């Protein structure tokens, strides 16, 4: 503690030094006015409606140059506002109630103000009544580093989040295989209040006629573990990364790869999982492709040599 102001926690220090404006982080040069400012309504509402599952922060006293660099300007004693002043203003103008805290921290001899927005499970958050240029019913969502008016897709997502669903997404549009292992970029998003443990999975690759061309067992997430694959996704968390799948030399033939490991053919990926309670999950991604390299191409090369 310096001069009655607490030093930064490790998480905040990392955000200040290495973070950039995003759907959970915003930087402001100065504090919002204590007299009631439309900007604080817009910013807190947008952050509360963000699809980020963890805490969101508005850090005041920093100036970002737009290229990742920051200057520490700090806030003055005259700017400081009591947390209850902001909270009462937000409670009077946004519904349902947004739960947040305002606190101050010391960094490089300067004082910073931090708004931390925590539990936001009651989305959508909207303007309760007209306030200056802001109209009743307005709903903003933080997308990247900007605030945007919520569209239909945003509302559908918010209500699906409240329903406690488990979401599975294929993020990449291709499967890349090397010597017995293929990688696919995926996302596991657990919107429920309970952990979900995935214990098995497989990828089906179909052609444009919906015929299954190949099947690939899941052997790991983030690293290859083989038949021992399992992954626990805690409540209100999202994991993204590479899914490890089995890939045989015969799969190259089934998928009509050439001896360089490529094909012009487009496929349909069907990713299936089962959890420890017997629930099954499936996601489909059309218009995707496969490429391979390494020793797994030996059967393709042998076949091509025999037909010459």
Contact 207/268 with Cβ under 8 angstroms? Answer: yes
Query: Of the candidates 162, 178, 207, which is a domain's last residue?
Result: 162
Question: Tell me: the pLDDT tens digits for 266-275?
Answer: 999 999 999 9
Q: Specify the residue for token string 């696919």.
A: 184
Statement to judge: residues 137 and 198 lie in one domain: no
Predicted pLDDT at 231: 95
Structural domain includes residue 121: yes
What total number of domains does the chain contain?
2
Long-range contacts of 226-229 (CB under 8 A, 24+ apart): 229/199, 229/200, 229/201
Answer yes or no: is 1 within a domain. Answer: no
Which of 162, 178, 210 is the last residue before a domain boundary?
Answer: 162
Q: Are residues 28 and 121 in the same domain?
A: yes
What's the pLDDT score for residue 280? 84
CATH number (domain holding residue 63): 3.30.950
Residue 222 resides in a domain = yes
Q: By residue range, what is the domain housing residue 42?
A: 6-162
**pLDDT at position 130, please?**
94
Q: Pinpoint the alpha helices (H) of the chain.
A: 10-18, 38-48, 83-93, 152-162, 249-254, 298-306
Domain-embedded: residue 104: yes
Residue 46 belongs to a domain: yes
- Taking only the tens place, the pLDDT of each residue in 152-200 is 988 987 877 666 678 899 998 999 999 889 999 999 999 887 899 999 9
Residue 136 shares a structural domain with residue 274: no
* Per-residue confidence (pLDDT) for residue 3, from 0 to 100: 42
Same domain, 147 and 45: yes
| Same domain as 14, residue 148 | yes
Q: What is the pLDDT of residue 306?
A: 66
Q: Which residues of the chain have pLDDT under 70?
A: 1-8, 66-68, 161-164, 304-308
- Kindly tell me the burial class for residue 76, based on how many C-beta atoms sit within 10 Å of its own C-beta (0-12, 13-18, 19 or more): exposed
155 lies in the same domain as 231: no
Question: Which one of 113, 134, 162 terminates a domain?
Answer: 162
What's the distance, CA 103 to chain centroid?
26
Residues 148 and 188 occupy one common structural domain:
no
- Tell me what pLDDT residue 1 has: 41
Look at the alpha carbons of 284, 122, 30, 37 in this order and tell me if their dihedral is positive or negative: positive
Q: What is the pLDDT of residue 249?
A: 93
Residues 129 and 18 in one domain: yes
The predicted pLDDT at position 227 comes to: 84
The owner of tokens 């409606």 is: 49
Q: Are residues 144 and 177 in the same domain?
A: no
Positive or negative CA dihedral for 27, 30, 35, 39? negative
Cα(285)–Cα(37) distance, integer angstroms: 45
């Amino acid at each position: 503690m310096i001069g009655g102001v607490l030093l930064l926690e490790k998480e905040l220090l990392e955000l200040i030094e290495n973070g950039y404006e995003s759907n959970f982080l915003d930087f402001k040069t100065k504090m919002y006015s204590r007299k009631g400012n439309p900007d604080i309504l817009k910013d807190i509402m947008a952050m509360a409606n963000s699809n980020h599952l963890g805490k969101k922060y508005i850090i005041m006293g920093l100036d970002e140059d737009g290229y990742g660099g920051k200057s520490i300007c700090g806030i003055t004693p005259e700017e400081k506002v009591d947390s209850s002043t902001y909270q009462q203003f937000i409670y009077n103008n946004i519904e349902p109630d947004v739960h947040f805290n305002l606190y101050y921290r010391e960094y490089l001899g300067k004082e910073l103000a931090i708004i931390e927005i925590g539990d936001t499970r009651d989305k959508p958050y909207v303007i309760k009544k007209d306030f200056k240029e802001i109209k009743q019913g307005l709903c903003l969502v933080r997308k990247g580093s900007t605030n945007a008016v919520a569209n239909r897709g945003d509302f559908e997502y918010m209500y699906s989040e409240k329903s406690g669903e488990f979401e599975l997404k294929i993020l990449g549009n291709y499967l890349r295989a090397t010597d017995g292992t293929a990688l696919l970029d995926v996302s596991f998003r657990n919107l429920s209040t309970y952990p979900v443990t995935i214990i098995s999975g497989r990828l089906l690759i179909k052609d444009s006629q919906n015929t299954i061309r190949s099947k690939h067992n899941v052997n790991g997430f983030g690293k290859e573990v083989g038949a021992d694959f399992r992954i626990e996704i805690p409540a209100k968390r999202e994991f993204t990364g590479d899914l490890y799948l089995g890939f045989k030399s015969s799969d190259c033939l089934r998928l009509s790869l050439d001896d360089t490991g490529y094909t012009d053919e487009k496929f349909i990926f069907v990713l299936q999982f089962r959890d420890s309670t017997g629930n099954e999950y499936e996601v489909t991604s059309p218009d995707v492709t496969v490429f391979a390299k390494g020793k797994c191409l030996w059967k393709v090369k042998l076949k091509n040599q025999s037909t010459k």
